[in-house]
Amino acid sequence: MPNIMIQGTASSAGKSIMCTALCKIFREDGYKVAPFKSQNLSSKFYETKEGYKMSTAQALQAKACGLEPSPNFNPILLLFNSEGQTDVIIKGKFYKKMGAFEYFNYKDFLKSMITETYKKLEEEYEIVVLEGAGSPAEINLNENDIVNMGMARIADAPVLLVADIDRGGVFASLYGTVMLLDEEDRNRIKGLIINKYRGDKVFLQPGIEKIEKLLNIPVVGVIPFVHLELADEDSLIDYDKRCNYTYQKEEELEKELNKLSKIVRENMDMDYVYSLLKLK
């Protein structure tokens, strides 16, 4: 089944926006595509027409795919609550409140549900775009991982790793993330993406050549910093957006999604991305 996964060197590196872009591009190119993020941690949520709760990022990605948001695109949602615990939402419905240690030990029991949900999407759609969370190099959390390389193994997905150059240290972030992974997971990373670049790419080229040589992984995209009126989740927001606190009309959303897909098409090697999908 053709699929691709976006992971990041840190929170807010650009995973969600890159997944949204790929969803829109694949849809524009005539494919039936769906998003998937096995687990999302937030203090915000999107409520579907049926009353299910899910990640705002996967709701946006569903719209980029031309689909109605569904909890199948985000089967586990963890919502912070005022009691210092987390509300565990499974397939859109409240399951129970859990502390960190309880949930960490419970995650292993969720793998079969995640796998089943994902496999059903594989059967229904031509391409699935998967999103990771935080960083795959959070080595203290890798045991029983179900959202980064653990999910990539379940889906047998090639991974593109995105890093945010706007916050600095982009090459160290890429190198450190890759090298902290074990060999099997390292080999899943098929491309690097540098996000939110503000300068002329010619000044970046020496660094690109060095990181490609060090890691033997190509840099497949340098995405410029651009203001997009697409709703954020609540982790690290780069700039103020009207859409984060006011209603956005469907035509306004579609205009911004078109803008995003154009930017990514122009600055990413989409031929290489399509080669990873191995479409028949």
Chain centre to alpha carbon of residue 243: 20
Residues 4 and 127 sit within 8 Å (Cβ to Cβ): yes
pLDDT band at 239 (very low <50, low <70, confident <90, very high): low
Q: What is the pLDDT of residue 229?
A: 67
Task: Report percent pLDDT > 90 for the chain.
Answer: 73
- Long-range pairs, 204-208, Cβ under 8 A, ≥24: 207/170, 207/171
Mean pLDDT calculated for residue range 135-162:
93
Task: Report percent pLDDT > 70 for the chain.
Answer: 92
pLDDT band at 15 (very low <50, low <70, confident <90, very high): very high
Does position 228 have pLDDT exceeding 90, yes or no?
no
From residue 271, alpha-carbon distances to 71, 85, 219, 279 in Å are 31, 45, 13, 12
**What are 38-90's pLDDT values in tens digits?**
999 988 899 999 999 999 999 999 999 999 999 999 999 999 876 778 999 99
**What are 86-142's pLDDT values in tens digits?**
999 999 999 989 988 888 888 878 999 999 999 999 999 999 999 999 999 998 888
* pTM of the shown model: 0.94
Sign of the Cα pseudo-torsion (17, 269, 7, 11, in order): negative
Encode burial over 26-40: b for 16+ CB neighbours within 10 A, e otherwise.
Answer: bbbeebebbbbbbbb
Residues 88 and 98 sit within 8 Å (Cβ to Cβ): yes
Does position 240 have pLDDT exceeding 80, yes or no?
no
Mean pLDDT calculated for residue range 218-236:
80
Spatial neighbors of 140 by CB under 8 A, at least 6 apart, are none
Spatial neighbors of 147 by CB under 8 A, at least 6 apart, are 37, 38, 39, 132, 133
Beta strand pairing call for 3-8 and 53-54: unpaired
d(CA 201, CA 206): 10
